[in-house]
């Protein structure tokens, strides 16, 4: 057969594979904006003037906005996926790989060579790209920029600009618009502005993005962080209590009511970037059962690692004597073991039937963790656990999980692995929420009786690599721990088969060998035989 | 093959594959599926999305390639030339033969051709098979090669083909025999809404227009068509024939299997020959079941027949006894669902209630009995309904007033979508009042 049209270099144009003049103009504006940043990066004699930065960011945003308007504004509302698999950028073509390389390099420089970006060391003034952001940082928090401030600003601009594009693309879909508005709000307010303002109010407070919970925020219980909170008076104490309450109380309640989507698709910054700037890559996620297997091992391993690491870190800075501080090493380890045992017992008692073979894996995970904690307790000192420094454990986690997995691979590989590789394979927060979602949430994606035509749009556009169709064509609801509830499967379904719902727990997980619409007696007979 | 019985299925579409899956669930038989089209089962309804670039061929396969081996279902990419029902053997194009104990014919449809001059030119095609898709990709890759396409026949496949070509900015002339799109099936209000929607997409739609002839240039390629009514000549490079389909059963003509338009079957989906069954698009009931047509060329009915015939083959002989009618489609950007029976024109004793949204992209039509007010069926456009609820209301024989008062319970639109149930109910109440007052 003949091949499909030449891979196009277009980014989003829904009905032609070449760019319109408006889109070319938009692309040029955005490129000029990026070029200014590159010039700053190369120390090309740009003055660190807030107007230069405003011009650069303004051109980038204007470029994206104009591009999106040219692509979607005049179009009749509907699904805009024409040519996705013919475009180089969105089908792992040359542009896709190039983008991947550029993004990955950026993350490597950001995490490991911030000096290349112009970070001033030992009190020296910033230069290059970071210096360009100094005036904005001064304006917001009264201090010079760091590489994280540069990253945070670009991140926020990306979510806002591409969020606008996403909202135009789904202008007929209220759910998509609202949740995109929500991630834009949380990124701009909670992740970007509020922490800067908080620093202005109280410079002892560590950077704290209120919506970023442990274990995603893996450094919140670090000694320096806890000390900084506790030394900042009531507000600091309040914040750390909020941090603990949000993991153990607020998040389970919200996940029970709405599924993990309340976080992953409405609040989270990683999710926010994935859904906006990463939207063009959602179809690249791997849907094979092999990938699903890998996902389950990997994400739960990260979770175990993060629980161990956090426990070890806290453990080492706690004391032995309860007269100094009520929480001692001994009490802490007992609390952790007690909590894990409680969770494990409740699951095994109430859910073992539903879990089947997975219960065994859960049990293995639990006992590994338990033994590790006990070994740690009996071999641990103030410095070391498992005969290695707890701080090394923490550093390893920060390096391999916090930086390489979530940043370099998670975001750098958007154009290769899809936009949610981190959320799917690595995020320990997603593992916790997913566990809650699978065990006791009202959330599910309902399948509409016998209406599925097995076309595969739902599976193709599932960024989490869930084979949605496998459920829909059996008339079975989708209850999967990895589902972030983005709602795109329901949006792209041409037959109205899928609906995200919060309903009764009873009958949430169903399956039918004979689908609705056929002989009712046969349905009853077959479904009874099961 | 050992001692186990062998079920041979000709055709790997939804009907044949569903039958195979259910035979596997219920028995230890050997199962072979033969298809010359593709090795693996793909979703025929998704072919359009490959051309449009929404998916690749790989994505349209409902089961991973390892599924078949795991479930011990043999796949044979071959063409069946003949069936020897006495010896219980199918003859293959390669010269081989395959013995069967049970044979299921599930060969689907082929596009209708009505003897138009030029209908066999190389750029003239239907849109049914993977091969048709490949051909369209070759003949209409972009609007430089295909400057205009003409689509003949305003049905479900015609509108899909239009959507495909639009995705590549290929100008379309759409010839529709009827006065309004698909008005042999859809009530006037519904049909006209879709017709206006097609206009909005800048399709040159010609109503009440028939094809007279397709012309070739000197090298034998399509260059234009002429219209029957006006004799107007329209330049084009590709002609899509989408005036319905008919059973794909030519290979049976020398066998003793009884056929009419399709393979004739009884309610158990058995043909006149023992151990030979037919299901899906190619099967024809002696009489339509209820309001259904004798030949049902629909994805869902293919699946249901597959579910039913598997029971019979596995020793639990059953009738094909479908429940309440339902169907769905998508017309460019507008989704369509139907539950129960809504005919183009109300039958004796029935009447239609029609509501249309001011934006002209949503409407519903409800069919009900004038005297008993029994709810008979509903068409919705741009509004999703819950299959389970509609099916239950049909079983419970609800009246139209109940359905309209409870319509919100059946809504299946995504969260935060605007609801129209109140508006619909008000419209119904005022229309009914006008009738009573008149």
Of the residues A19, A455, A507, the best mutation for testing chain B's interface (the one with the most B CB atoms within 10 Å of its CB) is: A455
Q: Does A261 touch chain B (CB under 8 A)?
A: no
A79 touches chain B (CB under 8 A): yes
Look at residue A530 in the predicted model and tell me its pLDDT: 58
Q: Is B167 part of any domain? A: yes
pLDDT of residue A378: 81
Residues B251, B236 within the same domain: no
Point out the domain boundary residue: B194, B224, B243. Answer: B243
- Residue in chain B closest to A467 (alpha carbons) equals B62
Strand B102-105's sheet: what is its strand order? B73-77, B30-35, B6-10, B102-105, B276-278
Domain assignment present for residue B90? The answer is yes
Q: Is residue B97 one of the residues assigned to a domain?
A: yes
CA distances in angstroms from A350 to A260, A361, A366, A434, B378, listed in the order given? 21, 16, 16, 17, 43
Q: Which of B311, B322, B413 sits opposite A517 (nearest CB)?
A: B322
Q: Which residues contact A125 (CB under 8 A, 6 or more apart)?
A: A131, A144
**HSE-up (13 A, CA, CB side) for residue A262:** 19
pLDDT in tens, A421-470: 999 999 999 999 999 999 899 999 999 999 999 999 999 999 999 999 99
d(CA A509, nearest CA chain B) in Å: 16
**By the 8 A CB rule, do A454 and B43 touch?**
yes
B320: closest chain A residue by CA: A519
Q: CB of B128 within 8 A of CB of B112?
A: no
Beta-carbon separation of B412 and A499 below 8 A: yes
**Claim to verify: residue B330 and residue B302 sit in the same structural domain:** no
Pairing of strands B263-265, B30-35: unpaired
HSE (side-chain half, CA atoms, 13 Å) at A336: 24
Q: Mind listing the pLDDT tens digit for each residue in B331-388?
A: 999 999 999 999 999 999 999 999 999 999 999 999 999 999 999 999 999 999 999 9
Within a domain: B213: yes
Instruction: Mark whether B173 and B205 lie in a shared domain.
Output: yes
- CA B223/CA B126 separation, integer angstroms: 18
Cα Rg for chain A, rounded, in angstroms? 25
Contacts of A84 by beta carbon, 8 Å cutoff, 6+ apart: A90, A91, A280, A283, B53, B54
Is residue B319 a part of any domain in this protein?
A: no
CB of A178 within 8 Å of a chain B CB? The answer is yes
Whether residues B306 and B370 fall in one domain: no
Q: B45 touching A, CB under 8 A? A: yes
User: In angstroms, rounded to a whole number, what is the distance separating the alpha carbons of residues A307 and A301?
Assistant: 10
Within a domain: B172? yes
User: Which residues of chain B lie closer than 8 angstroms to A78, CB-CB?
Assistant: 332-333
B158 and B238: one domain? Answer: yes
pLDDT > 60? residue A13: no
pLDDT of residue A381: 67
Query: Based on the domain organization, do B284 and B331 belong to the same domain?
Result: no
Q: Let me know: does A388 contact A62? Beta carbons within 8 Å.
A: no
Does B412 reach chain A within 8 Å, measured CB to CB?
yes
Strand partners, B327: B338
Q: Alpha-carbon distance A427 to A407, whole Å?
A: 11
Q: Which of A449, A451, A522 lies closest to B318 in CB terms?
A: A522
B97 and B56 together in one domain: yes
Domain of residue B214: give its range. Answer: 124-243
The pLDDT tens digits of the residues spanning B228-287 come to: 999 999 999 999 999 999 999 999 999 999 999 999 999 999 999 999 999 999 999 999
Whether A1 shows a pLDDT value over 70: the answer reads no
Identify from B59, B138, B419 which residue to disrupt to test chain A contact, counting A C-beta atoms within 10 A and taking the largest count.
B59
Q: Answer whether A280's CB lies under 8 Å from A89's CB.
A: yes
* Cβ within 8 Å, pair B53-A84: yes
Which band of pLDDT confidence, cut at 50, 70 and 90, is reported for residue A488? very high
CB pairs under 8 A between A and B: 183
What was the pLDDT predicted at A527?
72
The low-confidence residues of chain B, meaning pLDDT below 50, are 1
How does pLDDT run across A324-362, given as a tens digit for each residue?
788 888 889 899 999 999 988 888 888 877 777 777 788
CA distance B233 to B226: 4
Clarify whether residues B362 and B340 are in a common domain.
yes
Q: Are residues B336 and B409 in the same domain?
A: yes
The total number of structural domains in chain B stands at: 3
Between chains, do A449 and B387 touch, taking CB under 8 Å as contact? yes
Q: Are residues B331 and B302 in the same domain?
A: no
A450 interfacial to chain B (CB closer than 8 Å):
yes
Looking at the complex, does the CB of residue A513 fall below 8 Å from at least one CB of chain B? Answer: yes
Give the tens place of pLDDT for each residue, A43-100.
Answer: 877 777 899 999 999 999 999 999 999 999 999 999 999 999 999 999 999 999 999 9
Which chain A residue is nearest to residue B417, measuring alpha carbons? A174
Of B225, B243, B261, which residue is a domain's last?
Answer: B243
pLDDT at A416: 96
B293 with B254, same domain? yes
User: Are residues B53 and A519, on separate chains, in Cβ contact within 8 Å?
Assistant: no
Is the ipTM of this structure higher than 0.85?
yes
Query: Is B333 near chain A, with CB under 8 Å?
Result: yes
- Residue B189: phi and psi, rounded to 5, are -60, -45
Q: Which residues pair with B213 in a beta bridge?
A: B226
CATH number at residue B205: 3.50.50.60
Domains of chain A: 1-197 (no CATH), 439-529 (3.30.70)
A165, A68 contact by CB (below 8 A) = yes
Would you call B321 and A519 a contact, using CB atoms and an 8 Å cutoff?
yes
Asked whether residue A6 carries a pLDDT value surpassing 80, the answer given is no
Distance, in Å, from the CA atom of A65 to the CA atom of A79, rounded to the nearest integer, reads 19
Q: Is residue B318 part of a domain?
A: no
Chain A residue with Cα closest to B61: A456
DSSP letter at B391 equals H
Q: Domain check: are B78 and B141 in the same one?
A: no
Last residue of a domain, one of B213, B243, B273: B243
Residues of A in contact with B337 (CB under 8 A): 451, 495-496
Q: Is B116 inside any structural domain?
A: no
């Amino acid at each position: 057969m003949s091949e499909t049209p030449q891979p196009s270099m277009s980014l989003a144009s829904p009905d032609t594979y070449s760019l319109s003049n408006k889109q070319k103009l938009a692309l040029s504006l955005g490129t000029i904006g990026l070029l200014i940043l590159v010039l700053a990066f190369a120390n090309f004699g740009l003055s660190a003037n807030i107007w230069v930065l405003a011009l650069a960011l303004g051109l980038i945003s204007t470029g994206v906005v104009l591009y999106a308007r040219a692509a979607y504004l005049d179009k009749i509302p509907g699904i805009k996926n024409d040519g996705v698999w013919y475009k180089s950028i969105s089908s792992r073509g040359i542009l896709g790989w190039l983008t991947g390389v550029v993004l990955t390099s950026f993350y490597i420089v950001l995490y490991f060579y911030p000096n290349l970006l112009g970070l001033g060391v030992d009190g020296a003034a910033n230069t290059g790209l970071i210096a360009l952001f100094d005036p904005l940082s001064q304006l917001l928090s009264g201090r010079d920029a760091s590489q994280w401030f540069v990253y945070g600003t670009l991140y926020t601009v990306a979510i806002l600009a591409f969020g606008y594009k996403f909202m135009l693309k789904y202008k007929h879909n209220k759910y998509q618009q609202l949740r995109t508005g929500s991630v834009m709000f949380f990124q701009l307010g909670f992740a970007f502005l509020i922490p800067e303002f908080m620093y202005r109010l109280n410079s002892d407070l560590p950077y704290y993005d209120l919506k970023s919970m442990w274990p995603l925020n893996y450094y919140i219980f670090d000694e320096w962080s806890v000390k900084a909170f506790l030394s900042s008076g009531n507000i600091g104490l309040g914040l750390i209590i909020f941090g603990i309450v949000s993991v153990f109380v607020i998040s389970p309640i919200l996940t029970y009511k709405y599924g993990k989507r309340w976080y992953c698709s409405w609040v989270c910054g990683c999710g926010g970037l994935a859904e906006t700037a990463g939207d063009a890559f959602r179809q690249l996620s791997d849907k094979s059962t092999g990938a699903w297997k890998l996902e389950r091992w990997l994400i739960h391993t990260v979770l175990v690692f993060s629980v161990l690491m956090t426990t070890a870190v806290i453990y080492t800075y706690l004391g032995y004597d309860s007269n100094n501080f009520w929480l001692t090493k001994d009490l802490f380890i007992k609390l952790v073991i007690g909590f894990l045992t409680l969770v494990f017992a409740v699951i095994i008692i109430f859910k073992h039937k539903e879990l089947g073979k997975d219960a065994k894996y859960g049990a293995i995970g639990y006992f590994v963790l338990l033994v590790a904690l006990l070994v740690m307790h009996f071999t641990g000192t103030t410095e070391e656990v498992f005969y290695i420094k707890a701080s090394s454990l923490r550093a390893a986690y920060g390096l391999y999980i916090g930086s390489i997995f979530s940043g370099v691979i998670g975001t750098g590989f958007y154009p290769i692995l899809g936009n949610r590789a981190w959320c799917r394979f690595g995020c320990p927060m997603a593992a916790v929420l997913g566990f809650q979602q699978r065990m006791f949430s009202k959330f599910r994606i309902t399948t509409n009786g016998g209406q599925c035509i097995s076309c595969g749009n739902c599976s193709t556009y599932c960024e989490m690599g869930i084979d949605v169709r496998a459920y829909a064509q059996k008339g079975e609801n989708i209850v999967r721990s990895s589902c972030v509830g983005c709602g795109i499967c329901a949006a792209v379904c041409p037959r109205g088969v899928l609906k995200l719902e919060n309903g009764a727990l009873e009958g949430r997980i169903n399956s039918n060998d004979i689908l609705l619409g056929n002989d009712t007696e046969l349905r009853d007979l077959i479904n009874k035989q099961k | 093959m050992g001692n186990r019985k062998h079920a041979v299925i000709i055709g790997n579409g939804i009907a044949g594959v569903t039958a195979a899956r259910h035979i596997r669930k219920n028995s230890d038989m050997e199962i072979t599926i033969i298809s010359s089209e593709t090795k693996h089962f793909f979703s025929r309804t998704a072919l359009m999305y490959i051309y449009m670039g929404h998916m690749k061929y790989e994505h349209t396969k409902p089961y991973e390639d390892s599924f078949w081996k795991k479930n011990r279902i043999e796949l044979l990419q071959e063409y069946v030339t003949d069936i020897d029902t006495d010896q219980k053997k199918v003859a293959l194009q390669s010269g081989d033969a395959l013995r069967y104990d049970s044979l299921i014919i599930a060969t689907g449809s082929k596009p209708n051709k009505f003897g138009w001059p030029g209908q066999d030119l190389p750029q003239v095609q239907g849109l049914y098979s993977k091969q048709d898709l490949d051909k369209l990709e070759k003949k209409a890759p972009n609007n430089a090669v295909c400057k205009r396409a003409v689509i003949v026949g305003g049905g479900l496949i015609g509108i899909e083909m239009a959507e495909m070509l639009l995705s590549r900015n290929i100008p379309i002339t759409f010839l529709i025999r009827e006065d309004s799109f698909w008005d042999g099936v859809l009530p006037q209000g519904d049909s006209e809404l879709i017709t206006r929607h097609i206009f909005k997409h800048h399709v040159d739609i010609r109503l009440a227009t028939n094809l007279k002839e397709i012309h070739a240039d000197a090298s034998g390629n399509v260059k234009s068509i002429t219209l029957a009514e006006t004799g107007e000549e329209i330049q084009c490079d590709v002609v899509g024939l989408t005036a319905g389909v008919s059973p794909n059963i030519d290979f049976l003509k020398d066998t003793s299997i009884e056929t009419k338009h399709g393979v004739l079957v009884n309610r158990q989906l058995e043909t006149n020959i023992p151990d030979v069954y037919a299901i899906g698009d190619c099967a024809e009931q002696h009489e339509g079941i209820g309001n259904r047509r004798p030949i049902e060329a629909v994805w869902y009915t293919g699946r249901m027949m597959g579910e039913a015939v598997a029971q019979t083959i596995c020793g639990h002989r059953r009738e094909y006894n479908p429940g309440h009618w339902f169907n769905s489609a998508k017309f460019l950007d507008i989704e369509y669902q139907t539950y129960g029976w809504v005919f183009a024109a109300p039958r004796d004793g029935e009447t239609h209630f029609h509501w249309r949204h001011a934006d002209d992209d949503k409407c519903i039509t409800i069919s009900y009995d004038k005297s008993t007010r029994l709810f008979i069926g509903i068409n919705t456009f741009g509004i999703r309904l819950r299959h389970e609820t509609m099916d239950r209301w049909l079983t419970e024989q609800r009246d139209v007033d109940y359905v309209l008062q409870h319509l919100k319970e059946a809504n299946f639109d995504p969260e935060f979508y605007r609801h129209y149930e109140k508006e619909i109910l008000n419209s119904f109440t005022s229309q009914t009042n006008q009738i009573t007052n008149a």
